[in-house]
């Protein structure tokens, strides 16, 4: 049965719109766990546009499941990860102008420095996943770099507008997932998944965990976060 890690970034997005104290992503995380989430994900961005350092520190003290920190492979984030010690780090590419993460990591350009980066986090008992596009080369490079696993980018699948495009993307994802499994990597997936498109992708049994944020937080406005999480847990599993 696949696990669900709930990304609470967009609770912080609403708070930051008014630089207020609420809604609090820490409370959202606790409620998500109560509703059955298997983990909590936050992306601490360089520009701190949503999650703040204070959120991360409090989440580390309060999350009872698994805390996954999405971050760029920078010196600053490296120090923060070693200090906070999340259960897992997911390395993502980050651009200041983007609305959200736009694609997988380029693993060919900085292979050696990424190897060192990943090794030092793993030495501190932090699992390290690499966020990659669903292509064989990225899976093989992740293995060579020494990652614990991969998070396969599902953005193109989520954006596919025709049944044919969706099938093509699903096949790319499924091939990458199988290859990652064969190489002994942990396999997660995420980005752009919602209550409709989750069904087909959740049928790929080898995917161990889904990281889902926007659709759950959007639905919580109408249903409350507990109901939104419960329904996604049901669909994922």
190 binds ligand PXP (CB under 6 A): yes
**Residue 43 interacts with ligand PXP (CB under 6 A): yes or no:** yes
Residue 42 near residue 7, CB atoms below 8 Å: yes
CB nearer ligand PXP, residue 170 or residue 193: 193
* Per-residue interface string for the shown chain with ligand PXP, residues 68-87, x marking contact by CB under 6 A: --x-----------------
CB of 213 to ligand PXP, least distance (A): 3
Query: Of 81 and 212, which CB lies nearer to ligand PXP in the complex structure?
Result: 212
Q: Is 179 in the site for ligand PXP (CB under 6 A)?
A: no
The reply to whether 70 belongs to the active site is yes
Residue 195 binds to ligand PXP (criterion: CB under 6 A): no
Which pairs count as long-range contacts for 126-129, CB under 8 Å and 24+ apart, including other chains?
126/81, 126/85, 126/86, 126/87, 126/88, 126/89, 127/87, 127/88, 127/89, 127/186, 128/88, 128/89, 128/90, 128/91, 129/68, 129/88, 129/89, 129/90, 129/91, 129/186, 129/188
Q: How far apart are CA 151 and CA 186, in angstroms?
A: 8
Q: Examine the residue annotation and report whether 78 is marked as an active-site residue of this protein.
A: no
Single residue of 71, 193, 228, 232 touching ligand PXP by CB under 6 A: 193
Question: Which of the following is catalytic: 143, 153, 188, 191?
Answer: 191
Establish if 191 lies at the interface with ligand PXP (CB under 6 A): yes
Count of residues in the chain: 237
Could you identify the residue written with the tokens 């999350």?
63
Contact call for residue 192 and ligand PXP (CB under 6 A): yes
Which of residues 36 and 155 has its CB atom nearest to ligand PXP in the complex?
A: 155
Name the catalytic one among 10, 33, 50, 70: 70
Site for ligand PXP in 103-142 (CB under 6 A): 131
Rule CB under 6 A: say whether 213 interacts with ligand PXP: yes
Output the furthest CA–CA distance in the chain (Å, rounded).
Answer: 47
101 binds ligand PXP (CB under 6 A): yes
Q: Return the structure tokens found at 237.
A: 């599993």
Torsion of CA 3, 201, 194, 128, to 10 degrees: 50
33 flagged as catalytic:
no
All residues at 6 or more sequence positions from 55 whose CB lies less than 8 Å from its CB, including other chains? 12, 25, 26, 42
> Which residue has 């190897």 as its token pair?
115
Size of the site for ligand PXP (CB under 6 A): 19
Among candidate residues 52, 46, 39, the one with its CA nearest the CA of residue 9? 52
Residues that bind ligand PXP (CB under 6 A): 7, 9, 43, 70, 90, 92, 100-101, 131, 151, 190-193, 211-215
Residues classed as catalytic: 43, 70, 191
């Amino acid at each position: 049965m696949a696990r669900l890690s709930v990304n609470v970034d967009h609770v912080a997005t609403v708070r930051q719109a008014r630089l207020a104290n609420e809604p609090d992503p820490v409370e959202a995380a606790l409620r998500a766990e109560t509703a059955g989430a298997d983990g909590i994900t936050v992306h601490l961005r360089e520009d701190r546009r949503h999650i703040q350092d204070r959120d991360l520190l409090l989440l580390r003290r309060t999350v009872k499941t698994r805390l996954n920190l999405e971050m760029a492979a920078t010196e600053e984030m490296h120090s923060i990860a070693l200090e906070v010690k999340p259960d897992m780090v997911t390395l993502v590419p980050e651009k200041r102008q983007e609305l959200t993460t736009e694609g997988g990591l380029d693993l060919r350009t900085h292979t050696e420095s990424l190897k060192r980066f990943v090794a030092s986090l793993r030495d501190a008992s932090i699992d390290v996943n690499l966020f990659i596009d669903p292509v064989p080369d990225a899976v093989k490079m992740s293995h060579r770099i020494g990652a614990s696993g991969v998070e396969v980018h599902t953005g193109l699948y989520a954006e596919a507008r025709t049944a044919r495009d969706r099938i093509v993307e699903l096949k790319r994802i499924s091939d990458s997932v199988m290859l990652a499994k064969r190489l002994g990597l942990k396999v997660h997936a995420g980005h752009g998944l919602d209550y409709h498109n989750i069904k087909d992708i959740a049928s790929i049994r080898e995917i161990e965990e889904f990281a889902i944020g926007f659709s759950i937080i959007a639905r919580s406005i109408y249903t409350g976060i507990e109901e939104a999480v419960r329904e996604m847990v049901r669909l994922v599993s």
